[in-house]
Structure 1
Amino acid sequence: MLVLLSTVSSGVAFSDATIILNENQILYLFSTSGQVIAAIYGLTLTGFIFFRNELSREEIEDETLVEAVESLKSRYFVLLAFITVLVILTILSSNLAIAYEGSGKAASKTLLLNVAQSTFVTSLMAVSYFIFDVIHPKRIELASKGLQAKVDPSRTAQAKGSLEDFLRNYNQIETLLEHVGKPFQETTSSAYATKYPRRLSNARLTDFLLRNGKVDKDLYQRLRELITLRNSIIHGADPVVSQDIVEASAKVLEELRTTLTEHENDEP
């Protein structure tokens, strides 16, 4: 977008300029552009900090939102980094346009003027897109669908699996996690009884199991994928699963049951 705008505006300026600015207009326009985009960026960043805190609060209150919220945070971070680069380029190009005003090099000055304004317009469009993306009323649902597509890409195949079978397997996995996670739950609850009287999330329990050597990395990854998929379905993703994911859930259930039984037998 930036390259396209710069190329088109510069081409028009060199061939048949429709607007000719004098020195005072250039100084005022580009000094104002830098100040405006800096102010907009500051307000956007401040508002996003409050919004991010709100997302974190929702994540704490509802454990099934963890994956969707973390996905949104990652997306917003990338967008904000992109906007930051554009804002820096806008300020630098505006300063260069002002600095080159008295250089007497008409070609360089014309090019800088058009690049600076193209960068300014692109920055405004990027900030606008970011704001509307953040306040989208169905952001959780869209994030959930994105996670579902990543975990279960074959769900749109003709041979669909049974959602009931998947949920049945998942509920049994959840029961196993709750059982083996009781020591961690009791320790955490006693340490933070006054502030966080809540059970540990399934994702957090799998972290504890991995760190304590009760499951290997491969089983851990597959557990996290099943947790992500189930939570995505809860929060707006299509209630459809593939036969592959149903079979995978049954296999994970059996492996988890076997692994935990072996560890219980090994304990004194």
Structure 2
Amino acid sequence: MKNKNRCDNVKVICVARNNLILLFVAVLLFILASFCKPVFLLDQNQILYLFSASAQVLAAVYGLVLTAFSFVQGSIEKRGAKDPDLEGIWDRMNQKCFKMLIYISIMTFLSIVLCMITMSSYDERNICKFFANVSIVFTVNDLYLIIKFVIRFANPKWEDTIRGEVIKEFGGNDVKSVGSGNDNSVQLFLAYFQKIERALGKASAPFINYNRYSRSRFVSKKEMLMILLKNGYFKNDNIVPKILDLIPFRNSLVHSSIEQGVPDEMMRLVKEVLENLKEALKETKELRGFDWDVKLG
């Protein structure tokens, strides 16, 4: 669903906007304090040493974070390829992580540039004073973003956090969107999803070369979808992104503690996908006699 990707982008933009607002306020306060009542007075040597060291530290820390991110990303992809319950969740986590990394990269670049401008303008007292205060605020802010980024993924319970975010993203914490009774029960949602999963497995089975897959690796639902799409089974292109949205929600749901039920939007979506899948695969030989009815118990 395009709305979910748009929602992700809006959240990242909101976080960046809030950070920039705080950054602007801090810069303004520091500049006013430096001209009205300065706390520290630095000479030429101190300015050169302090901001040269700051630029080097930022570059070194950013390099370490970038290296760690590449290792973590590779580990996540390997783990996600082996565990069906992680399918789709790590894709979303990687997207959010990458967007945050882009923002950190921009702030690190600006911080280093400001440090260099401060060092090159030490002869001009007022200009140097201005850029020195701006540079200090940007440097501290950049270190804060990096620390926040590292702590997020160093947390032993970060997997649970990611699953919770996926459920919340689809309205899982919105009590008003949750139906009552059995109409929106978790069991009913999982029953619908299981039908979708079985239908995809049966339809894609003739096209899968199982010799390519080791016993430790499952054939993901995303791979099944791509195989069926490649072989011209889905004339309606909307069905693929809808199923790709259901996968991480389902995998997060089975490890969560939601008791109220499933959000109306997701229950409607899983029913809609099953109907669309039934229509798209009705001529498939492997699904002749397939029971499309969903029953509990």
TM-score > 0.5 by shorter chain: yes
Partner of 1:217: 237
- Counterparts of 1:126 and 1:222, CA distance in 2: 33
Q: Report the Cα offset of residue 196 of structure 1.
A: 6.2
Partner of 2:263: 242
- Does the alignment pair 1:99 with 2:127? no
Give the aligned residue type for 2:189.
Answer: F
Match of 1:7 among 19, 24, 28: 28
- Does the alignment pair 1:58 with 2:91? no
Identity %: 25
Contact 1:141/1:237 (<8 A) preserved: no
- Counterparts of 2:200 and 2:221, CA distance in 1: 7
Contact 1:145/1:237 (<8 A) preserved: no
**Aligned positions, number:** 259
Partner of 1:168: 191
Q: Report the Cα offset of residue 55 of structure 1.
A: 1.1
Alignment of 1:42-57 (within 5 A): 42-57=63-78
Contact 2:189/2:270 (<8 A) preserved: yes
Change (3 A) 1:237 1:74: farther
Q: Of Structure 1 and Structure 2, which has the larger fraction of its residues in helix?
A: 1
- Counterparts of 1:33 and 1:244, CA distance in 2: 49
SS of aligned partner of 1:261: coil
Change (3 A) 1:154 1:207: farther
SS of aligned partner of 1:262: coil
Structure 2: unaligned runs, 5 residues or longer: 1-21, 287-297
- Does the alignment pair 1:120 with 2:139? yes
Structure 1: unaligned runs, 5 residues or longer: none
- Counterparts of 2:265 and 2:49, CA distance in 1: 63
- Does the alignment pair 1:88 with 2:122? no
Contact 1:151/1:225 (<8 A) preserved: no
Partner of 2:51: 30
Q: Report the Cα offset of residue 133 of structure 1.
A: 1.4
Can you list the C-alpha shifts for 1:75-121, whole angstroms capped at 9, x where unaligned?
1111111111111112111111111112xx32211101111111111
Give the aligned residue type for 1:257.
Answer: K
Change (3 A) 1:235 1:211: farther
- Counterparts of 1:244 and 1:81, CA distance in 2: 31
- Taking structure 2 as the reference length, the TM-score comes to 0.79
Partner of 2:166: 147
Give the aligned residue type for 1:82.
Answer: Y
- Counterparts of 1:203 and 1:111, CA distance in 2: 53
- Counterparts of 1:51 and 1:205, CA distance in 2: 26
User: What is the root-mean-square deviation in Å for CA atoms of aligned residues?
Assistant: 2.3
Greater mean deviation of Cα atoms: 144-153 or 38-47: 144-153
- Counterparts of 1:96 and 1:73, CA distance in 2: 34
- Counterparts of 1:171 and 1:155, CA distance in 2: 25
Partner of 1:73: 94
SS of aligned partner of 2:282: helix
Change (3 A) 1:87 1:4: same
Match of 1:129 among 131, 148, 152: 148
- Counterparts of 1:72 and 1:152, CA distance in 2: 17
- Counterparts of 1:88 and 1:27, CA distance in 2: 19
- Taking structure 1 as the reference length, the TM-score comes to 0.87
SS of aligned partner of 1:129: helix
Q: Report the Cα offset of residue 261 of structure 1.
A: 2.1
- Counterparts of 1:206 and 1:48, CA distance in 2: 29
Runs of 4+ in 1 over 4 A off after TM superposition: 152-155
Radius of gyration: which is bigger?
Answer: 1
